[in-house]
């Protein structure tokens, strides 16, 4: 067992939460983007909300258990995928908008700013908790070094 396992675990979680915050920021920034992509028909589509999927660095419970038993540290977290939310787009009546259809409706992204802010707060709190764990590990390592003086 290495003395740096706790630091590595916190570091992987910090990296994953930072990516999650970046994706959420992108969602908020594109909440009104009506021309984000071009579909197979050549028409513009609004921005689709993106979501981050994370999992343990170990593939399954058995390998996680064996790693914890052998090394004493179960490992960190990793981002496995960034997926698009397939919920339908919102339609808003605005006939003066350049992207309005023949009925005067505009397709807007499936991004809900309130939901994104809640996700951002959750990611921020998780990031802060991992910084606290990292600082605690660092403090314990420093105290261990002081013992050897």
Q: Centre a 10 Å sphere on the Cβ of residue 130 and count the other Cβ atoms it contains.
A: 22
Task: Tell me whether residue 111 is exposed, middle or buried, using C-beta atoms within 10 angstroms of its C-beta: 0 to 12, 13 to 18, 19 or more.
Answer: buried
Q: What is the pLDDT confidence band of residue 38, given thresholds at 50, 70 and 90? A: confident
Average pLDDT of the residues of the chain:
88
Q: What is the DSSP letter of 95?
A: T
Q: Is residue 31 a contact partner of residue 113, using CB atoms and an 8 Å limit?
A: yes
- Phi, psi angle pair for 139, to nearest 5°: -65, -40
Q: Is residue 85 a contact partner of residue 49, using CB atoms and an 8 Å limit?
A: yes
5-29 helix and 113-147 helix, angle to the nearest 10 degrees: 160
Report the DSSP beta bridge partners of residue 90. 108
pLDDT of residue 6: 81
Candidates 82, 100, 84; CA nearest to 35 is: 100
Q: How far apart are CA 89 and CA 108, in angstroms?
A: 6
Lowest-pLDDT range of 52-61, 97-106, 107-116, 134-143: 52-61
Q: How far apart are CA 49 and CA 88, in angstroms?
A: 10
pLDDT digits (tens, 9 = 90+) for 58-99: 666 676 667 666 665 556 888 999 999 999 999 999 999 998
Q: How far apart are CA 66 and CA 47, in angstroms?
A: 43
Q: How far apart are CA 78 and CA 29, in angstroms?
A: 25
């Amino acid at each position: 067992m290495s003395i740096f396992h706790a630091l590595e675990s916190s570091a992987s979680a910090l990296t994953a939460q930072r990516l999650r915050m970046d994706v959420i920021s992108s969602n908020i920034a594109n909440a009104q983007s009506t021309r984000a992509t071009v579909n197979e028909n050549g028409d513009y589509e609004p921005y689709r909300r993106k979501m981050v999927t994370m999992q343990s660095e170990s593939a399954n419970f058995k390998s996680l258990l064996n790693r914890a038993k052998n090394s004493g540290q179960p490992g960190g977290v990793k981002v496995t995928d960034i997926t698009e939310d397939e919920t339908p787009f919102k339609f808003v009546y605005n006939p003066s908008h350049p992207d309005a259809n023949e009925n005067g409706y505009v397709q807007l992204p499936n991004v809900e700013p309130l939901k994104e802010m809640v996700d951002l707060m959750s990611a921020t709190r998780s990031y802060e908790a991992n910084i606290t764990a990292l600082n605690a590990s660092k403090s314990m390592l420093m105290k261990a070094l002081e013992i050897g003086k």
